[in-house]
Amino acid sequence: MMLALNQPSSGKRVLVTGGAGFLGSHLCDLLIREGHEVLCVDNFFTGSRTNVAHLLSHPRFELLRHDVTFPLFVEVDEIYNLACPASPVHYQHDPVQTTKTSVIGAINMLGLAKRLKIKVFQSSTSEVYGDPSVHPQTEDYWGHVNPIGPRSCYDEGKRCAETLFFDYHRQHRLRIKVARIFNTYGPRMRADDGRVVSNFIVQALQGHDITIFGDGSQTRSFCYVDDLIGGFYKFMNTGDEVTGPLNLGNPVEMTMIELASEVLAITGSKSKIRFEPLPQDDPKQRLPDISQARALLDDWQPKVQLREGLTETIRYFEAQLGGKAA
The footprint of ligand UDP (CB under 6 A) covers 71-73, 88, 107-108, 111-112, 114-115, 183, 195-196, 199, 211-213, 218, 220, 256, 278-279, 282
Out of ligand NAD, ligand UDP, none, which partner does residue 135 contact, by CB within 5 to 8 A per kind?
none
Q: Which CB atom, from 223 or from 304, has the smaller least distance to ligand UDP?
A: 223
The burial of 169, by beta-carbon neighbours within 10 Å (0-12 exposed, 13-18 middle, 19 or more buried), is given as middle
* Other Cβ atoms closer than 10 A to 84: 27
Angle 60-19-105 from CA coordinates, rounded to 5°: 120
Q: Is 198 in the site for ligand NAD (CB under 6 A)?
A: no
- Segment contacting ligand NAD (CB under 6 A): 79-87, 106-114, 131-139, 257-265? 79-87
Of all residues in the shown chain, the one whose CB is closest to ligand NAD is: 47
User: CB 298 → ligand UDP: shortest distance, Å?
Assistant: 28
Smallest gap from Cβ 228 to ligand NAD, in A, equals 8
Question: Among 173, 187, 186, which Cα is nearest to 113's?
Answer: 173
Q: State the angle between helix axes of 22-33 and 225-236 in degrees (0 to 180), rounded to the nearest 10.
A: 60
- Three-class SS of residue 122? strand
317, 202 Cβ separation under 8 angstroms? yes
CA-CA distance, 302 to 305, in Å (whole number)?
A: 8
Answer with the entry of ligand UDP, ligand NAD, none that 67 interacts with (C-beta below 5 to 8 A by kind). Answer: ligand NAD
Pairing relationship of beta strands 219-221 and 253-255 according to DSSP bridges: antiparallel
8 A C-beta contact, residue 30 and residue 16: no
154 noted as active-site residue: yes
x/- binding map, residues 293-312, to ligand NAD, per CB under 6 A? --------------------
Interface mask toward ligand NAD for 1-40; x: CB under 6 A: ----------------xx-xxxxx----------------
Task: Pick from 28, 36, 38, 123 the residue near ligand NAD by CB under 6 A.
Answer: 123
User: How many angstroms from the chain centroid is the CA of residue 210?
Assistant: 24
Query: Please, how many CA atoms are within 13 Å of residue 149, restricted to the half-sphere of its CB?
Result: 14
Least distance in angstroms from the C-beta of 184 to ligand NAD:
4
Catalytic residue set: 154
Q: Which residues bind ligand NAD (CB under 6 A)?
A: 17-18, 20-24, 42-47, 67-69, 82-86, 101, 105, 123, 125, 181, 183-184
